[in-house]
Amino acid sequence: MRLVAKKRLAAFQLDVDVEVGNKILVIGPNGSGKSTLLKCVAGLWRCGAGGRWLYVPPEPQAPKRMKVRDYIKLLEDALRVKVRTDLFGVDYLERKMGELSSGMAKRVMLAVAFSTDMPLALDEPTAFLDAAWRRRLLELVDSREPVIVATHDAELIEALSRWDLLELAGGRPIKVRRSHVGS
């Protein structure tokens, strides 16, 4: 697939036009454009690209007073999907989102994302997860396509080393490696 995204944000300019497969690992330093690229791909920003990808942010964002059950229902209705809470052990449905640890809230978001059949744009997906849930994420993400993962997580980068790799710096590709996995 072709990843094309051009976006100007104040002094920053994202300019990506690369050919990649269906499993892409995006790496680069802070401020290199990883999150901007994922938001462009998901159509959250106008960038000359974008489609029906589901963007999952690095930090869970949900109404703090809403019960997990109600939040999931809201997302089920919006995405027209039945969320499989068992995917990430979300068995705390009566708790309020604001009462959850960051890891528990992240598991809610990931359960929703992996319950869809939408292409996934995962921004720092291992953030806030303990070792057991990181392993579960790896199982699920590796069996999924198309998917784009942006991360700094060295363990995740190593685990996904056979995926196509896009390295960004200053909003531009500095390295593209085609692994032909999932292409």
pLDDT in tens, 14-27: 999 999 999 999 99
User: In CATH, what number does 1-53+119-183 get?
Assistant: 3.40.50.300
pLDDT digits (tens, 9 = 90+) for 125-137: 999 999 999 999 9
Residues β-bridged to residue 16: 5
pTM above 0.85, yes or no: yes
Are residues 148 and 27 in contact, defined by beta-carbon separation less than 8 angstroms? no
- CA 153 – CA 169 distance, rounded (Å): 17
> For strand 12-19 and strand 2-9, is the pairing parallel, antiparallel, or unpaired?
antiparallel
Round to whole Å and give the CA distance between 60 and 9.
Answer: 23
Q: Which sequence spans correspond to the domains of the chain? A: 1-53+119-183, 61-118
CA distances from 27 to 10, 43, 102, 157, 160 (A): 22, 20, 23, 8, 12
Report percent pLDDT > 70 for the chain: 97
